[in-house]
Amino acid sequence: MADRSHGGHHTMSSTIKVAVTNHEPAWLDLPAGVAKTIALITEASSHGCKLIAFPETWLIGYPAWIWTRPVDFDLSVKYVQNSLRIPSPEMDSLCAAAADNAIAVALAFSERRGDSVFIAQALIDATGKLRMNRRKMKPTHMERTIFGDASGDCLSDVVDVAGLGKVGALSCWEHIQPLLKFHQFSQGEQIHVAAWPALNVFEEGSPGFWSMSTEGCLALSQAYAVESGAFVLSAMTVISEKAIEMMGTKGSPIMGAPNQSYSAVIGPDGRILAGGPGKAKSENEKLLIADIDLSECTKAKTFADACGHYSRPDLLWLGCDESKKEIVRTV
C-alpha cells in the first residue's frame, strides 16, 4: 500500500545536489545504453550529486517510428530484443554502478517481460537496492502499437530514500492524468522525476499539438510542481539526424527533426531553477546539475497542500485499486 503520510521523512542536509540528463540514448542497443548510463552515473557522482534522473525509455530509446507508421516488424523485433528485463545482468550492473558511486538513480526504460514490452521507470538507491519499479499506467495513442498497460502496482511508486526524501516518478503524458497525479501527491512526494521523450519546439501552423512540444511538456512539469509542492526534475531526450535516419521518421511532425533538449530543475512554486530554454539553458550531451532545498516544499505547502489543509475529503476523494492483476490467478 502507498504511504499517505506527509511526515516522517529521513533526516538530511538542507540542500541536495541533483543531476538531470540532457542526452541522446544509444538507440535500440542495450549494451551500449547500459555503458552510457553507467558513465553518466559516474559523472554525476563525481560532481557530488545524490540523484540522477533519466528521460522516458532512456534504455533503449523511444520507438519514434510509431508516429510515422504503425507497423515496422524489423524495428519492432529489434526493440523487444534489446529491451531491459528485470531481473537481468544489465540491471545488476546498473545497481552496482549506483552503489559504487553512492548515488540514487531514477531510471526510465523499455521493460521486457516475455515478448511484451512496457514503458517503465525504476528507482535505485545509493546502496544499489532496487526500491521501485513501475510501468506507465496507459501508453499514449500510438504507443499502444508497441507497449502494454500497467496494473495497479504502478500507483505505489513514491519511496522514502535515505538522504533524499520522498521520491516518485511519472512518464510523459501521465502528467495530464488528474487522478493519477492526485494519487501521487497523496504519498507526500518531495522530489518528482518527470520523464519525457524527444520533443521539438512548437512551430506555428504545425499539425501537431502544442501540448506535445518542448514548451507544452515543460509547462506540464511546471504545473505538476505547483500542484504537488514538490521539486520536479524534468528529463527530456535528445534525438539526432542519425537516429531519425535509422528509424525512418524524417519530416514527421513528431520526432522527425533533430532537437535541442530542454531538461530542467523546477522549484515547488513552478519556477525553473536550472535548465530549460532560459538564460542558463540546457545543453545537449551535458548534465544539468542543481542544488535543491527540501524546506522549500514545506514553504510551498504552507500556502496550498492539495492533500492536506487545502483538501476537502468530505466533498471530494479518490478511490483506487493498487493490487497487481496477474494473467493467471489461482483461486
Looking at the annotation, which residues are catalytic? 56, 136, 172
Q: What is the dihedral of CA 20, 103, 230, 302, to 10 degrees?
A: -140
SS3 of the chain: the string is CCCCCCCCCCCCCCEEEEEECCCCCCCCCHHHHHHHHHHHHHHHHHCCCCEEECCCCCECCCCHHHHCCCCCHHHHHHHHHHCECCCCHHHHHHHHHHHHHCCEEEEEEEEEECCEEEEEEEEECCCCCEEEEEECCCCCHHHHHCECCCCHHHCCCCEEECCCEEEEEEEHHHHHCHHHHHHHHCCCCCEEEEEEEECCCCCCCCCCCHHHCHHHHHHHHHHHHHHHCCEEEEEEECCCHHHHHHHCCCCCCCCCCCCCCCCEEECCCCCEEEECCCCCCCCCCCCEEEEEECHHHHHHHCCCCCCCCCCCCCCCCCCCCCCCCCCCCCC
| Residue type for position 96 | A
The answer to whether 245 and 230 are in contact (CB under 8 A) is: no
Q: Distances from the Cα of 120 to the Cαs of 9, 117, 149, 305, in angstroms? A: 26, 9, 10, 28
- Positive or negative, the CA dihedral 294, 274, 45, 198 is positive
d(CA 39, CA 41): 5
